[in-house]
Structure 1
C-alpha cells in the first residue's frame, strides 16, 4: 500500500478512516489541532505519523507534505478536517462575519492550500484526492448557510480541480449523517444516537479507493455493501 495524508484524524470520521487504512498497511500522515488527543487516538496504530497543527496554518500544511514526502510521497490525500461554526448555527442575516471567515479558512482555503502543496507528487503517482463534503452543500437547510456554503465552495473547487487534473482522481465525498461531535454541535441538545457510527462507512470508503471511479461527487451510501 502507499502513503496517505488524512486531516482531522483525532476523532470521528478522520480517525475511522485512519484506522481503516492502517489495517491495510498504508503509511499515514495525520493531523489534528489537539496534540494530546491526536497522539492518544493514534497511539495503537502502526505506520501512522501524527503531525499536530491547524490546517488553516500554511506552515502546518507544508509540514504535512514534507512528512509524507519523507515516507516516499503521498498517493492519497483526504481533506477531512473542518469546523461547523457557531452552535447553534445562526441564520445568515445574523452570522458573525469574522466567524464566517474562519469557517471558510478551515473548510475551503485550508484544503485547497494543502492540495497545492501535495499535487506535484500526487501527479507523479496518478494519485487521488478526497474532499469530504456534506448534503448541506447541495440542499438549503435553514441555519446552515455558513457551513453549507463553505462545503458548496469546496465542491465547486473539486469540480474545477478534476477538470484541470485529468490524470488524478478527485472525489468530493458525502459520508452521510454520522454520530460525531460536529454533528452533535449542529443539533445541540438533540438525541443523535440514531445516526450511524463513523466506522460503519469505512468499508464504502475503502471500496472507493480500490475501485477508483471517475472523478466526481460520491455518496458513500451508494457504495455500501448490502448486509
Structure 2
C-alpha cells in the first residue's frame, strides 16, 4: 500500500525538501503552494500532483481535500512571515496581523478539518510546522510568534481530541530559506541548517511514529 502525503508550501524550502525525501521513500505526493511555476517544476521532478493556490482560499482547500480521498500524512508547512522589516508589537499594523493569523492559524485548521475523514480512515498523521518564536520572547518576532503559539495550541488540542491520529507540532529550528533571509538577512540565513537535513529528521519522525506532541529538531 502506497502512503499519501499532502504538503503545503511545497515549492521551496522545507516543504520542497520534505517532498523530495518522501518521494525517495516511495510516497505518493500532493503538493500545493501559491507559486505555480515553481510548484509545477517540483511536481514534475518528483512525479507528484501539483495543485497551485492559496491555502487561505476555501475553494482551494476544497480542491485539496478532493485530491486526497486517502491520506496518511498532512504537513501544514505553508506560512507567512508578516511585515518586514519585523516590527515591534507597539507598531505592528493590525490589518497585517489579521492576515498573518489567517495564513498561519486559520488556514491550517481549515485544511485539517477538510481532510480529517481521510486521515481518520488511515489512522494518519498531522505535522504542523511551528517555530521557537512560539515560546521565546524575541523582539520583532511577536506577530509571527503569536500565530505559531496559536498553531501549537490548536495542535495540542487536536492531539487530545483525535487519539487515533499522530499529531506533532514541529519546531525545525533556523533553516537556510528565503523566509529566514527576509527576516534576518541573506548572510545570517546562509549559516543556518540545510532544509534537506531537517526534512530527513522529519521523515524519521513520521516513520518511527512516536507519541504526539511538540518536537524540536535542532
TM-score by length of 1: 0.93
Q: Could you tell me how far apart the structure 2 residues matched to 1:173 and 1:192 are?
A: 20
Aligned to 1:225: none
- Report SS of the residue matched to 1:82: coil
1:13 has 2:10 as partner? no
1:77 has 2:74 as partner? yes
Q: What is the total number of aligned residue pairs between the two structures? A: 217
Aligned to 2:136: 139
| Contact 1:158-1:172 at 8 Å conserved across structures | yes
In the alignment, structure 2 segments of 5+ residues that lack a partner are none
Aligned to 1:86: 83
| Contact 2:82-2:97 at 8 Å conserved across structures | yes
**Shift >4 Å, 4+ stretches:** none
Cα shift readout 1:20-75 (whole Å, capped 9, x = no counterpart): 001111111110101112112332112x1000000101111111111112xxx111
TM-score by length of 2: 0.97
Shift of residue 190, structure 1, vs aligned partner: 4.6
| Contact 1:108-1:153 at 8 Å conserved across structures | yes
| Contact 2:134-2:146 at 8 Å conserved across structures | yes
Q: Could you tell me how far apart the structure 1 residues matched to 2:215 and 2:114 are?
A: 24
Between 84-93 and 33-42, the greater mean CA deviation after superposition: 33-42
Q: Could you tell me how far apart the structure 1 residues matched to 2:100 and 2:170 are?
A: 19
RMSD: 1.0
- Report SS of the residue matched to 2:188: coil
- Report SS of the residue matched to 1:29: strand
| Contact 1:170-1:215 at 8 Å conserved across structures | yes
